[in-house]
Amino acid sequence: MTEKYFRKGFGLRREVAETLSIDYHSRIVDRIRENDFFLEVGNLNFRLAREFGFCFGVERAVEYAYEASRKFAGKRLFLVGEIIHNPHVNQTLRQMGVTILVPGSDGRFDYSSITDDDVVIIPAFGVTTQDLRRLQESGCVLVDTTCGSVLNVWKRVEQYARDGFTSLVHGKHFHEETQATVSQIEKYGTGNYVVVRDQDETELICNFIEREGDPSVLQATFADKVSEGFDFSRDLQYVGIANQTTMLASESLAIENRVRRALISRYGEENIDEHFRSFGTICTATQERQNAVLDLVEESLDMMVVIGGYNSSNTNHLAKLCSTRSPTFHIADASCIDPEQNRICYKPVGSMEDVVVEGWLGDGPKLIGITAGASTPNNKIGETIERIVRIRGLSLPD
């Protein structure tokens, strides 16, 4: 019987290494890293965060997709949504012949055209249990690039569900990763979940745990963020904490502590272990990148440039952290900077729309901080720096 599920690679790393380097490598980024993360060009000084760009999970997912393209040359290759939230990487996969499936208005993917002779790549975020089942029923070959950190979260929420605990998930309920995570809970009849976006939503939950009262406000706020049949009076007695791996680490920890305090208030310190669980599902790479920008903005920067897809959760959180200390420009990639016109198109923190600013770099010496989300390849960082330098009529050193 032909193997239909692959997760551990095809042993083609050497064969795809050169192509990956051509597509994503940057000599200027290497040079900056070797120079203690600093670059001076004329009166422009750049500080690069010490942790930035592709994390291990993203690097593995992209590499595995490239290997799949070579392994199954001649077959139709499909990808469920985006491999990661980076427009350049996804467009490159399209150019390699991978068809990216897009969900319909109902949020569901149409797999009706998938046959047992096709290959389907599962993205780094994973897919829901329902999607996995439908793909398996099609008989196609599955190449699973789900990040190990995501799988770790799944193990935790599955354990909560088996033990009759409600999973309180810090995340965006519409995000692919969170949807995949909560679907793991739904496999168990004893499992429930509620997804909280931020500390304000958490406070609503905690106030109810502490004082109960009328659940109608919660029912309205969390209508599409809870498991089917969720009962706020019944299902918040036993709570386990989990999170979307790309959320703001400090906020996830604050949410965890607040829920624990609420349950202590309701059931007493002596009973907390019976009612509360947490196993630390914050992604190490996400936390490292957030810590690195917090260190970077301690310097007297004139501005921060954050590079990454506008729909990238971890990139948006990096921009949010930077904006508390320095003027911050979140750009999708280097094409957002027009060096001839000294113009930048960027997405302000908290905004849904990008804006265009003329003369954004200004005159005189500048100390510019640079970082990038975990789905941003190094070449897009290097191209960004090159375009900023060109505004001053300068060029990068050879």
177 is catalytic: yes
pTM (global) more than 0.95: no
Q: State yes or no: pLDDT of 2 exceeds 70.
A: no
- Rounded CA-CA distance 395/153 in Å is 45
* Domain interval for residue 105: 56-145
Closest to 208 in 3D by CA, of 221, 198, 192: 221
Over the stretch 262-320, which tens digit does the pLDDT of each residue have? Answer: 999 999 999 999 999 998 777 889 999 999 999 999 999 999 999 999 999 999 999 99
Judge if 92 and 168 occupy the same domain: no
Angle in degrees, CA 86, 90, 92, rounded to 5: 120
How many domains, the chain?
3
Confirm whether 15 is domain-assigned.
Answer: no
Judge if 273 and 318 occupy the same domain: no
CATH label of the domain that carries residue 275: 3.40.1010.20
Asked if residues 193 and 156 have their Cβ atoms less than 8 Å apart, the reply is no
Local confidence band at 212 (pLDDT 50, 70, 90 cut-offs): confident
Six-digit token string for 214: 């009328």
CATH label of the domain that carries residue 128: 3.40.50.11270
Q: Which of 63, 82, 176, 177 is catalytic?
A: 177
- Half-sphere exposure of 160 toward its Cβ, with a 13 Å CA cutoff? 33
Over the stretch 170-208, which tens digit does the pLDDT of each residue have? Answer: 999 999 999 999 999 988 777 899 999 999 999 999 999
Domain closes at, from 263, 282, 301 = 282
Judge if 276 and 157 occupy the same domain: yes
Give the mean model confidence (pLDDT) for residues 87-100.
96
pLDDT at site 188:
79
Closest to 171 in 3D by CA, of 243, 85, 117, 115: 243
* Helix, strand, coil shares, percent, the chain, to 5: 40, 20, 40
Confirm whether 363 is domain-assigned.
Answer: yes
Domain closes at, from 232, 252, 282 = 282
Local confidence band at 375 (pLDDT 50, 70, 90 cut-offs): very high
pLDDT at site 1:
42
Share of the chain above pLDDT 70, in %: 99
Judge if 385 and 322 occupy the same domain: yes
Q: What is the mean pLDDT of the chain?
A: 95
Closest to 125 in 3D by CA, of 93, 164, 170, 85: 85
3-class secondary structure per residue, 257-276 = HHHHHHHHHHHCHHHHHHHE
Domain closes at, from 236, 260, 282 = 282
Confirm whether 333 is domain-assigned.
Answer: yes
